[in-house]
Structure 1
Amino acid sequence: MSKKTCEYKFHTEFQSHEPEFDYLKSLEIEEKINKIKWCRRQNASHYLLSTNDKTIKLWKVFDKSLKVVAENNLSHDLTPAGAVAGGGMPRAPHLSFRDASSLKLPRLTHHDTVVVAVPRRIYANAHAYHINSISVNSDGETFISSDDLRINLWNLNIQDQSFNIVDIKPANMEELTEVITAAEFHPTSCNWFMYASSKGTIKLADMRQSALCDQHHKQFEQEEDASSRSFFSEIISSISDVRFSNDGRYILSRDYLTVKIWDVNMERQPVKTIPIHEHLRPRLCDTYENDSIFDKFEVVFSGDAENVMTGSYNNNFMIYPSDPNKETEVVLQADKTAFKAKKVGVPTPINSSASTNKKSGSRAGSPAGAGGRMKKETDADQIDFNKKILHMSWHPFEDSIAIAATNNLFVFSAL
Structure 2
Amino acid sequence: MEGEDDVHMATEGLDWKFSQVFGEPAAGEEVQEVDIISAIEFDKSGDHLATGDCGGRVVLFERINKTDHADHRRDLDGMDCSSSRRPEYRYKTEFQSHEPEFDYLKSLEIEEKINHIRWCHTANGAMFLLSTNDKTIKCWKVQEKKIKKICHMNIEPPKPTSNGFVSGSNVPTMSKPHTANGDGIDKHLRCMSDNVPFPSWRVSSLHLPMVTGHETSLVARCRRTYAHAHDYHINSISNNSDGETFISGDDLRINLWNMEISNQSFNIVDVKPANMEDLTEVITSAEFHPSHCHMLAYSSSKGSIRLLDLRQSALCDGHSKLLKEHEAPGARSFFTDIIASISDIKFSKGGRHILSRDYMTLKLWDINMDSVPVATFQVHEYLRPKLCDMYENDSIFDKFECCLSGDGQRVATGSYSNLFRVFGCSEGSSEEATLEATKNPTRRQIQTPPRFPRSLGTLPRVSRRGSDNLGIDINGSSYDFSRKLLHLAWHPNENSIVCAASNSLYMYYA
TM tier, shorter chain?
Answer: 0.7 to 0.9
Partners of 1:192 and 1:236 in 2: how far apart?
27
| Secondary structure in structure 1 of the residue aligned to 2:122 | coil
For residues 294-347 of structure 1, what are the alpha-carbon distances to aligned partners after superposition, in whole Å with 9 as ceiling and x for unaligned? 000000011111111100000000111121421221221112442xxxx45778
Out of 123, 126, 131, the residue aligned to residue 42 of structure 1 is: 123
| Equivalent in the alignment of 1:386 | 482
Unmatched segments (≥5 aa) in structure 1: 97-102, 359-375
Write the mapping of 1:196-275 to structure 2, written as runs, cut at 5 A.
196-275=299-378
For residues 245-286 of structure 1, what are the alpha-carbon distances to aligned partners after superposition, in whole Å with 9 as ceiling and x for unaligned? 011011000000000000111111100000000010111001
Cα 1:298–1:308 change in 2 (3 A) is: same
Larger RCO of the pair (alpha carbons < 8 Å, separation 6+) = 2
Deviation at 1:69, TM superposition (A): 3.1
| Secondary structure in structure 2 of the residue aligned to 1:160 | coil
| Secondary structure in structure 2 of the residue aligned to 1:228 | coil
| Equivalent in the alignment of 1:366 | none
Cα 1:47–1:171 change in 2 (3 A) is: same
Out of 392, 408, 414, the residue aligned to residue 504 of structure 2 is: 408
The letter of the residue matching 1:349 is T
| Equivalent in the alignment of 1:349 | 448
| Secondary structure in structure 2 of the residue aligned to 1:287 | helix
Partners of 1:202 and 1:401 in 2: how far apart?
26
1:334 aligns with 2:433: no
For residues 69-105 of structure 1, what are the alpha-carbon distances to aligned partners after superposition, in whole Å with 9 as ceiling and x for unaligned? 342533x256664366544566597579xxxxxx998
What TM-score, normalized by structure 2, do the two folds share? 0.70
CA contact (8 A) 1:298 1:311 kept: yes
| Secondary structure in structure 1 of the residue aligned to 2:396 | helix
Partners of 1:306 and 1:400 in 2: how far apart?
13
| Equivalent in the alignment of 1:171 | 274
Deviation at 1:63, TM superposition (A): 1.3
Cα 1:412–1:95 change in 2 (3 A) is: farther
CA contact (8 A) 1:279 1:379 kept: no
1:15 aligns with 2:96: yes
| Equivalent in the alignment of 2:216 | 113
Deviation at 1:28, TM superposition (A): 0.5
The letter of the residue matching 1:170 is P
| Secondary structure in structure 2 of the residue aligned to 1:41 | strand
* Identical aligned residues as a percent: 54
The letter of the residue matching 1:296 is K
Partners of 1:89 and 1:396 in 2: how far apart?
66
Deviation at 1:178, TM superposition (A): 0.2
Cα 1:306–1:72 change in 2 (3 A) is: same
| Secondary structure in structure 1 of the residue aligned to 2:333 | coil
1:73 aligns with 2:154: yes
Calculate the aligned-residue CA RMSD, in Å: 2.7
For residues 130-161 of structure 1, what are the alpha-carbon distances to aligned partners after superposition, in whole Å with 9 as ceiling and x for unaligned? 10000010001100000000000000110000
| Equivalent in the alignment of 1:361 | none
Deviation at 1:108, TM superposition (A): 3.6
| Equivalent in the alignment of 2:180 | none
| Secondary structure in structure 2 of the residue aligned to 1:319 | strand
For residues 193-221 of structure 1, what are the alpha-carbon distances to aligned partners after superposition, in whole Å with 9 as ceiling and x for unaligned? 00000000000000110010011000000
| Secondary structure in structure 2 of the residue aligned to 1:349 | coil
More strand by share: 2
Unmatched segments (≥5 aa) in structure 2: 6-18, 20-84, 160-165, 174-193, 450-456, 464-471
The letter of the residue matching 1:20 is E
Partners of 1:217 and 1:347 in 2: how far apart?
39
Deviation at 1:117, TM superposition (A): 1.1
Deviation at 1:67, TM superposition (A): 2.0
Partners of 1:23 and 1:73 in 2: how far apart?
56
Partners of 1:92 and 1:305 in 2: how far apart?
81
Partners of 2:212 and 2:236 in 1: how far apart?
44
CA contact (8 A) 1:280 1:380 kept: no
| Equivalent in the alignment of 2:286 | 183
The letter of the residue matching 2:297 is M
Cα 1:73–1:261 change in 2 (3 A) is: same
CA contact (8 A) 2:86 2:509 kept: no
For residues 222-252 of structure 1, what are the alpha-carbon distances to aligned partners after superposition, in whole Å with 9 as ceiling and x for unaligned? 0011311100000000000000001101100
The letter of the residue matching 2:332 is R
Cα 1:345–1:46 change in 2 (3 A) is: farther
Partners of 2:458 and 2:317 in 1: how far apart?
44
1:30 aligns with 2:111: yes
The letter of the residue matching 2:481 is F
Partners of 1:278 and 1:194 in 2: how far apart?
27
| Secondary structure in structure 2 of the residue aligned to 1:144 | strand
| Equivalent in the alignment of 1:370 | none
Write the mapping of 1:21-170 to structure 2, written as runs, cut at 5 A.
21-74=102-155, 76=156, 81-82=167-168, 85-88=194-197, 107-170=210-273
| Equivalent in the alignment of 2:492 | 396
Write the mapping of 1:273-312 to structure 2, written as runs, cut at 5 A.
273-312=376-415
Partners of 1:380 and 1:233 in 2: how far apart?
29
Partners of 2:354 and 2:444 in 1: how far apart?
26
